[in-house]
Each structure stands twice: as structure tokens, then as C-alpha cells.
């Protein structure tokens, strides 16, 4: 690979944070003076008590340790990892917001960064004014913004309110405008963080669509996300960070699968509000459910992929029952493999993950609730959870019904049956 093909080159980047330093972010002068005066005294006491002075090593965390990778020109690289794995830190270093402690990175080309949509938006300013302000903050020249202005307004769909202060905008309008400005950023290299994590489903779809365009337009993109399906869909290659180090680097699908398999998913995890996590009396508990994706298969049927994390107190055989319920509480679909197929699951004692796929559900575009229960011996419910999910529509007639249900129309024209009565 020649040097010209590399857009971003990261070599041995490390970043150290002093936890003490972090806590002292807003320390006052008095505290600093007290520390300066008492610090040596405290150090001496530590020395006398433990035979060694308290070293600074305890107060230091390495958010990144010796991270190296190259991004080729035109490549779309995803970065995944748990919270605290260093995803955002690497992006902050590449965008020059913060400096690395060690190592070196080289970026060849104009860089645009989107760590958030609407950075610098001011509530008192109008939509028009914010487009210019936000554009300038993102690094666009005024001429460039002038040229893009109409496109931004059109994409944001807030034409009527463009001269209204954004504090009067609905949150949806605000986000659309903010994303529209961000999306108009035309740089060869784009660094993106979790931009898609906000807004309603249709907004996220719109963002994803734009991201796909960006990814397909031959630009170099580094995309940090918790959204594993987005990573799979957009990125050809993916890096998984763990504890500040590169854990895996390879094709997205295999890295994501491995990440899921090692139980690292923390995407759309539903912390379960009606769950008291401290209660350990139950034989088996569902700790959390990670909705990996909801996708539309052939014939417009919806398939859900989930990872359910369980905690078992004893070795028991169980299985899941599930039910899809409308938001008004009307039951729509039901499944129970134990009942239907006598399938049983047997997990180890302790924590484990179960990957669940619910396939080919004929569902119209709407939001539903999936009720998932771990059950045993047909009727004993061990634990249950509720997860909201949405089904989108791509049906060109806008009916919302994408699926095709088989139905028979075999006309049985008898003599009298179908006579139209007048």
C-alpha cells in the first residue's frame, strides 16, 4: 500500500487521563494551595504507614494504549467497543480536540468532524443565522455556506421557519436543521461519532441514508457507533476497541459478530426499569436485552435479532416465549418454541447471552412492544421483559403494509352464490 493511498494513519497512539486531574477539573485555587501545603505531609504519612509513598499510578487511566491503524483513501472504517473502550477518545484525538499522550497520527486531506449535530447552535438565533454560525464552526467558508444554503434548508424541511429563532423549533425541526448543516460538510475525510443516536426513527433513517451516500461517494469516513447494524451496513472494515486497545481489526461482519459473541454488545440495550437488579432470588433473570437490529426481509416481513443476557442461579432448562403487542396492548403475534417444538435451553450458572432471532413477522409500519419471557415447564415464568421496537415502511404506496400475506381467492361461482342483489 503506497503512502498516497493512506488517508489516516495512526501509529502507537496512547492517551492518559489523570483521574485525580479529571476530578480536579474545577478545583479551586484554595484546594490547590491546600494540596500543595498538605500534599508533602500526606505523602510522609503514607510513607510511614505503608512503607512507600502513594504513587500517582493509581490516579492514572490509559484511555488508549498503543493504538495503531491505517485508513485507506475512500475506506469507511467503523469503530466499536463498549463504553469507555476509547472510541470517543480516538476520535477526539483525530479531530485535534485533545492531544495524545504518546504516538503520532497523520491525516492527509481536509478533515471534517461531526462529534455532535448542532454544535454551537444558539437558541436565540434564527435558523438562517444558525446555519451560518454552525457552518463556520464546522470549518466551512462563508462562500461555501452561501452555495449550500438552499440545499441545507431543503434537506432540513424547515423553510417556513428559517427566520424564526430556533428556540421555538420542535426538537425534530432542530435536529433536522442541525443534521442538514452537518451533512453539507464536504471534506475528503469525515470523522463521525454517534450522530445517529438521536432523534426519532424517521430522522435516524434519514441520517442513515445520508451516511450511506457519504460512504458510497468515495470519501474516507471513520465512524464510531454503538449501532452495530449501522456499522455492518456502512462500513467495510471495523475495529473493535477493548480497554483502550485494538482488540480486532477486520471485515465489519466478522468483527461485529465476534463482538456480539464475546458479549460486548451495549447498543440499544434496554435497561429494564421494572427490574430490581439487586434481587437475586430468582432462579433465572434477564439482565438486559440488546436489540441488534430489526430488518425487513423478502416480502416485507420483519425479523428481529436480539441478544438476551441472562443470569442463572441454578442449572435449569428453560426457553423463551414471546409476544408482540401493539402500543394499545392488543396482542398480535405469539411464539413459544418450547410449546411448539419442545426445544429447551440449558445455560450455565452465572451470566450468559442468548442470541434470539424472531423471523418473518408480518407487521405493518408502526411501533410495537415485544414481550419476552423466560419460562420453564410450560407455564412457570422465570422473568419477563418488555422491549419497544419499530417497523419502518418502504412500500411505495405508503400503505404501511409491506408484507404480502398469502390468501386464496378461488372463486366458487355457484349458481346463486355471487349474484349481486339490487
Partner 1 sequence: MSAVRVDPTGGELRENRERLAVDKTVKAAPPVDLATHGASVQPDEAPAAAGEVPVFTIEPVRGWVSLHLRELWDYRELLYFLAWRDIKVRYKQTVLGAAWAVIQPFLTMVVFTLFFGRVARLPSDGIPYPIFSYCALVPWTFFANGLTNSTDSLVASQNVIKKVYFPRLITPIATVISGLVDFSLAFIVLIGMMYYYGVSVTHNVVWIPVLLILALVTSMGFGFWLSAMNVRYRDVRYVVPFITQLWMFATPIVYPSSMLPEPYRTLVGLNPMAGVVEGFRWALLGVNTAPGPIIAVSAAATVGILISGAFYFRRMEKTFADLV
Least distance to partner 1 from the beta carbon of 377, Å? 11
Please provide residue 368's backbone torsions phi and psi, each rounded to the nearest 5 degrees: -130, 175
Q: Which residue has the cell 447494524?
A: 229
Beta pairing class for 6-18 and 60-72: antiparallel
Rounded Cα distance between 259 and 264, Å, is: 6
Please provide residue 79's backbone torsions phi and psi, each rounded to the nearest 5 degrees: -125, 125
Rounded Cα distance between 284 and 137, Å, is: 51
Rounded Cα distance between 366 and 368, Å, is: 6
For partner 1, the closer of residues 285 and 301 by Cβ is 301
Q: Which residue has the cell 468515495?
A: 218
For partner 1, the closer of residues 47 and 142 by Cβ is 142
For partner 1, the closer of residues 43 and 297 by Cβ is 297
H-run or E-run covering 91: helix 87-94
Least distance to partner 1 from the beta carbon of 136, Å? 4
Rounded Cα distance between 382 and 376, Å, is: 7
For partner 1, the closer of residues 16 and 243 by Cβ is 16
For partner 1, the closer of residues 47 and 250 by Cβ is 250
Least distance to partner 1 from the beta carbon of 173, Å? 17
Residue 194: left if φ>0, alpha if ψ -120 to 50, beta else—which one? Answer: left
Least distance to partner 1 from the beta carbon of 381, Å? 5
Residue 163 has which C-alpha cell? 427566520
Q: Which residue has the cell 429563532?
A: 165
Least distance to partner 1 from the beta carbon of 143, Å? 9
**Number of other residues whose CB lies within 10 A of the CB of residue 323:** 18
Cβ-proximal residues to 382 (8 Å cutoff; 6+ apart), any chain: 282, 283, 284, 285, 316, 318, 373, 374, 375, 376
Least distance to partner 1 from the beta carbon of 271, Å? 20
Least distance to partner 1 from the beta carbon of 315, Å? 16
Pick from 99, 91, 43, 42: nearest CA to 71 = 91
For partner 1, the closer of residues 46 and 102 by Cβ is 102
Query: Quick check: 138 and 182 in contact, CB under 8 A?
Result: yes
Rounded Cα distance between 360 and 318, Å, is: 24
Cβ-proximal residues to 297 (8 Å cutoff; 6+ apart), any chain: 303, 359, 360
For partner 1, the closer of residues 111 and 177 by Cβ is 111
For partner 1, the closer of residues 46 and 249 by Cβ is 249
Three-class DSSP category at 112 = strand
Least distance to partner 1 from the beta carbon of 109, Å? 5
For partner 1, the closer of residues 51 and 398 by Cβ is 398
Least distance to partner 1 from the beta carbon of 277, Å? 21
Amino acid at each position: 500500500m503506497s503512502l498516497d493511498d493512506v488517508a489516516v494513519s495512526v501509529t502507537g497512539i496512547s492517551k492518559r487521563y489523570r483521574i485525580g486531574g479529571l476530578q480536579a477539573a474545577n478545583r479551586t485555587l484554595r484546594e490547590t494551595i491546600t494540596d500543595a501545603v498538605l500534599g508533602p505531609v500526606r505523602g510522609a504519612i503514607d510513607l510511614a504507614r505503608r512503607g512507600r509513598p502513594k504513587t500517582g499510578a493509581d490516579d492514572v487511566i490509559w484511555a488508549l494504549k498503543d493504538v495503531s491503524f491505517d485508513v485507506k483513501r475512500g475506506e469507511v472504517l467503523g469503530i466499536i467497543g463498549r463504553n469507555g473502550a476509547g472510541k470517543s477518545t480516538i476520535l477526539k484525538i483525530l479531530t485535534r480536540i485533545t492531544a495524545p499522550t504518546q504516538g503520532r497520527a497523520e491525516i492527509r486531506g481536509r478533515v471534517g468532524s461531526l462529534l455532535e449535530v448542532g454544535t454551537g447552535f444558539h437558541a436565540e438565533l434564527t435558523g438562517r443565522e444558525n446555519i451560518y454560525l454552525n457552518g463556520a464552526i464546522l470549518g466551512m467558508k462563508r462562500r461555501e455556506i452561501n452555495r449550500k444554503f438552499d440545499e441545507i434548508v431543503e434537506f432540513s424541511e424547515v423553510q417556513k421557519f428559517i427566520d424564526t429563532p430556533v428556540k421555538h423549533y420542535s426538537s425534530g425541526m432542530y435536529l433536522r436543521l442541525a443534521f442538514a448543516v452537518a451533512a453539507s460538510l464536504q471534506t475528503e475525510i469525515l470523522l463521525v461519532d454517534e450522530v445517529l443516536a438521536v432523534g426519532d426513527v424517521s430522522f435516524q433513517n434519514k441520517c442513515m441514508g445520508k451516511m450511506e451516500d457519504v460512504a458510497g461517494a468515495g470519501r474516507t469516513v471513520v465512524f464510531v457507533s454503538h449501532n452495530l447494524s449501522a456499522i455492518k451496513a456502512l462500513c467495510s472494515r471495523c475495529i473493535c476497541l477493548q480497554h483502550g486497545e485494538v482488540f480486532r481489526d477486520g471485515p465489519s461482519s466478522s468483527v461485529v459478530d465476534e463482538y456480539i459473541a464475546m458479549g460486548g454488545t451495549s447498543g440499544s440495550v434496554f435497561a429494564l426499569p421494572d427490574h430490581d437488579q439487586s434481587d437475586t432470588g430468582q432462579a433465572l433473570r434477564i439482565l438486559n436485552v440488546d436489540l441488534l437490529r430489526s430488518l425487513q426481509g423478502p416480502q416485507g416481513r420483519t425479523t428481529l435479532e436480539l441478544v438476551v443476557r441472562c443470569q442463572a442461579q441454578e442449572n435449569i432448562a428453560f426457553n423463551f416465549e414471546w409476544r408482540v403487542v401493539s402500543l394499545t396492548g392488543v396482542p398480535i403475534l405469539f411464539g413459544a418454541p418450547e410449546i411448539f417444538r419442545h426445544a429447551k435451553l440449558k445455560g450455565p450458572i452465572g451470566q450468559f447471552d442468548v442470541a434470539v432471532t424472531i423471523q418473518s413477522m408480518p407487521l405493518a409500519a408502526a411501533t410495537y412492544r415485544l414481550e419476552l419471557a423466560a419460562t420453564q415447564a410450560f407455564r412457570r415464568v422465570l422473568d419477563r421483559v418488555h422491549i419497544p421496537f419499530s417497523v419502518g415502511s418502504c412500500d411505495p404506496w405508503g400503505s404501511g403494509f409491506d408484507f404480502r400475506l398469502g390468501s386464496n381467492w378461488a372463486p366458487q361461482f355457484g349458481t346463486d352464490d355471487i349474484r349481486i342483489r339490487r
